[in-house]
């Protein structure tokens, strides 16, 4: 007889349903969630993780999967648009200062052009 | 604020070892900060396992990549749920059902997931029916194995992705009753 003693809520899918439910309920205006919906979401989440990992692995060129591989996947695929703010590409501090300086320069230039009297 | 309260036992912030103990990432990293809804994550061990199964056997995954996927997962769930919840509200219903989730996935561009999910849900429902009917599982329930799903997926390269071999046991699904019940459509 093979009924495993499961971790709580992890029967069919490999994720704890109770936790999935909490995350779902954190969305506004969510009242009740049917067991079907919970199962579907949980399974979909597994599929999502698998897909994201597979794609990141492709980018990783046989090395370990790193943050930047995930950032690459997400920034190249429209379907993952909602993740672009979650996984922005990282830049080095040096690059940040370069960027900031060039932005500062263009702001200075445009305020010169306007001949603003505000000082 | 209704709809946004959590039972207190989930707000336990584990103040020891928050850096290494990513399993405890249920609240913000500093327990002193106010609890934020978007910081609810699925356990990193589960996520890491699914990731590992999706890549070739010798593939490695950096820790910050796992944590990153943890965040993406929460974002994904919220994203789909919002859409599903909108549809539900439009139809003046209070319970999000499986169809709402599937519909949301289609709307948001996750079409390839729909058919496999439908199959999965059907099997889940069948299992529950069987359970209700008093059948007892003697052996590993084959009919919810991933083999069928794998076949269906293979055209979309999802084949290697489906590796969960959890057995069906709805009694332990975390639902203590079937009220708010499954809607067979």
- Return phi, psi of residue A65, to 5°: -75, 125
Closest CA to B52 of B167, B163, B166: B163
Output the DSSP codes for chain A. Answer: -----PPTT-SSSSS-HHHHHHHHHTSTT--EE-HHHHHHHHHHHHHHHHHHHHHHHHHHTTS-B-HHHHHHHHHH-GGGGGGTTTSPPP--HHHHHHHHHHHHHHHHHHHHHHT-S--
Cβ burial of B145 (10 Å; 0-12, 13-18, 19+) is middle
Total domains in chain A come to 1
Q: What are phi and psi for residue B181, nearest 5 degrees?
A: -80, 175
Q: Quick one: which of A50, A33, A38, A49 has its CA closest to A12?
A: A38
C-beta separation of B81 from A30 below 8 A:
yes
The closest CB to that of B167, out of A4, A37, A50, belongs to: A4
Closest of B67, B64, B80 to residue B117, by C-alpha = B80
- List of chain B residues whose C-beta atoms are within 8 Å of the C-beta of residue A58: none
Alpha carbon B111 to chain centroid distance?
Answer: 17
Name the residue among B73, B123, B177, B107 with its Cα closest to residue A20: B73
Q: Do A65 and B62 touch (CB under 8 A)?
A: yes
- On average, the pLDDT of chain A sits at 84
Q: Nearest C-alpha of chain A: how many angstroms from B20?
A: 17
Regarding pTM above 0.90, the answer is no
Structural domain includes residue A98: yes
Is there a domain that residue A115 lies in?
Answer: yes
Q: Is residue A103 part of a domain?
A: yes
* Per-residue pLDDT at B16 exceeds 50: no
Whose tokens are 């320069």? That residue is A105
Say if the Cβ atoms of B144 and A12 lie within 8 Å: yes
Structure tokens at B145: 């194995």
Higher pLDDT, B97 or B184: B97
All residues of chain A having their beta carbon less than 8 Å from the beta carbon of residue B160 are 50, 54
- What is the 8-class DSSP label of residue B182? P
Q: Quick check: A27 and B85 CB within 8 A?
A: yes
Domain with A105, as residue range(s), is: 90-119
Residue A106 inside a domain? The answer is yes
- For residue A49, being part of any structural domain is answered with no
Given a cut of 90, is residue B131 above it in pLDDT? Answer: no
Picking from B109, B117, B175, the nearest residue to A44 by CB comes out as B117
Q: Is the ipTM of this complex over 0.85?
A: no
| Within-domain flag for A57 | no
- pLDDT tens digits, B46-102: 999 999 999 987 788 999 999 999 999 999 999 999 999 999 999 999 999 999 999
Candidates B175, B79, B169; CA nearest to A36 is B175
C-beta of residue B78 within 8 angstroms of C-beta of residue A31: no
Residue A67: inside a domain, yes or no? no
């Amino acid at each position: 007889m093979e009924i495993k003693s499961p971790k709580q809520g992890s029967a069919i899918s490999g994720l704890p349903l109770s936790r999935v439910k909490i995350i779902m309920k954190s969305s506004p205006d969510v009242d009740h969630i049917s067991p079907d919906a919970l199962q579907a979401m949980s399974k979909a989440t597994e599929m999502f993780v698998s897909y994201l990992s597979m794609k990141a692995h492709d980018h990783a060129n046989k090395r370990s999967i790193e943050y930047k591989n995930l950032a690459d996947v997400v920034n190249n695929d429209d379907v993952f648009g909602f993740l672009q703010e979650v996984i922005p590409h990282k830049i080095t501090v040096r690059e940040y200062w370069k960027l900031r300086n060039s932005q500062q320069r263009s702001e200075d230039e445009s305020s010169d052009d306007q001949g603003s009297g505000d000082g | 604020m209704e709809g946004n309260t959590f039972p207190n036992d989930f707000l336990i912030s584990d103040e020891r070892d928050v850096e290494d103990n990513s399993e405890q990432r249920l609240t913000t990293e500093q327990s002193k900060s106010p609890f934020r809804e978007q910081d609810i994550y699925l356990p990193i061990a589960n996520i890491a396992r699914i990731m590992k199964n999706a890549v070739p056997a010798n593939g490695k995954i950096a820790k910050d990549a796992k944590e990153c996927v943890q965040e993406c997962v929460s974002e994904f769930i919220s994203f789909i749920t919002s859409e599903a919840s909108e549809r539900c509200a439009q139809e003046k219903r209070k319970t999000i059902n499986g169809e709402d989730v599937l519909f949301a996935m289609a709307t948001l561009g996750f079409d390839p997931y729909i058919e496999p999910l439908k199959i999965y849900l059907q099997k889940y429902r069948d299992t529950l029916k069987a359970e209700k009917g008093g059948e007892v599982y003697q052996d590993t329930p084959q009919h919810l194995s991933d083999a069928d799903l794998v076949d269906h997926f293979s055209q979309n390269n999802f084949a290697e992705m489906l590796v969960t071999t959890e057995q069906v046991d709805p009694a332990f699904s975390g639902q203590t009753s079937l009220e708010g019940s499954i809607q067979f459509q």
